[in-house]
Amino acid sequence: MDLSLVSCTVDAGICTLTVNRPDKLNALNQQTLQALDAAFAQAQADNDVRVVVLTGAGSKAFVAGADISQMNQLTPVQGRDFSLLGQQLMRRIEALGKPVIAKVNGFALGGGLELAMACHLRIAADSAKLGQPEINLGLIPGFGGSQRLLRLAGRAATLELCLLGSPISAERALALGIVNEVVAADALDARVQALAAQLATAAPLALRAILDCVLIGGECALPQALEFESTQFGLVFSTADMREGTSAFLERRKPEFVGQ
């Protein structure tokens, strides 16, 4: 496994993962998917990591898609395995239990948009382009794009992006609910850093409970989802962080959460 394909830094509870193939616009081949999966597994296991920021090297692309030169050679069975490998990574990100912010600094196309959609928050530069162009290659989204896009943007937008294959602007993606915020390209780093710093000081167990309520509860019928939320609500009463947070509020001071 070539871990140089993904660089990792950890500072003040913020783990920054950077897909490091700028000469290929950070395209996702099998080795890069495996390296990302390993990097996210490490971030998940590291108690010092409170939040993860995911981005791509260079100014042109977050991730421009899956590596077409590799896909061109795959058999049907290998194609399915490649899809499953990508979906395994996306599920790991989605279920990490820690907030993941996609810093979309350029092209997020195909597998790149699928990667961004697996993250919990997406902040895009105003110069970014997003889309699912697989139809232009005689392909379909394979890393969960048809399903996550459907859940984020609805059926009409999903069919438009997947059937036509044309990229859209960051502003259009914001209007469709695909990204959370659009900022000027030269302000992207500072904005994402500020959000990551805010999340890094929040109560980790409460963050995880919120993620579980939205991601797990969102797949349930409403009565079961509400029951799940009540259970998670009760569980956080067992945490030291809940006592610290409520005490700090009453004492008019800033809380210090420790993840217990």
Query: Is residue 21 domain-shared with residue 72, that is, in the same domain?
Result: yes
Query: Is residue 195 domain-shared with residue 214, that is, in the same domain?
Result: no
Domain that residue 235 falls in: 204-250
Query: Is residue 229 domain-shared with residue 179, that is, in the same domain?
Result: no
Report pLDDT digits (tens) over 207-247: 999 999 999 999 999 999 999 999 999 999 999 999 999 99
Query: Is residue 174 domain-shared with residue 217, that is, in the same domain?
Result: no
**Domain CATH for 228:** 1.10.12
Query: Is residue 153 domain-shared with residue 38, that is, in the same domain?
Result: yes
pTM attached to this predicted model: 0.95
5: its two tokens? 């394909």
| Residue 260 lies inside a defined structural domain of this protein | no
Quick one: pLDDT at residue 47?
A: 94
| Residue 79 lies inside a defined structural domain of this protein | yes
Query: Is residue 120 domain-shared with residue 138, that is, in the same domain?
Result: yes
Quick one: pLDDT at residue 59?
A: 87
Known catalytic residues? Answer: 114, 134
Q: How many domains does the chain have?
A: 2
Nearest of 140, 128, 130, 136 to residue 165 by alpha carbon: 136
Query: Is residue 103 domain-shared with residue 72, that is, in the same domain?
Result: yes
Average pLDDT over every residue of 71-94: 95
Average pLDDT over every residue of 33-40: 96
Quick one: pLDDT at residue 1?
A: 52
End-to-end Cα spacing for the chain: 34
Q: Is the pLDDT of residue 3 over 80?
A: no
Average pLDDT, the chain: 95
Quick one: pLDDT at residue 37?
A: 97
Name the β-bridge partners of 61: 107
Query: Is residue 83 domain-shared with residue 139, that is, in the same domain?
Result: yes
DSSP H or E run through 63: strand 61-63
**Domain CATH for 71:** 3.90.226.10
- The fraction of the chain above a pLDDT of 70, given in percent, is 99
The CB density around residue 67, as the number of other CB atoms within 10 Å, is: 21
Average pLDDT over every residue of 17-29: 94
| Residue 258 lies inside a defined structural domain of this protein | no
| Residue 82 lies inside a defined structural domain of this protein | yes
Nearest of 128, 129, 24 to residue 71 by alpha carbon: 24
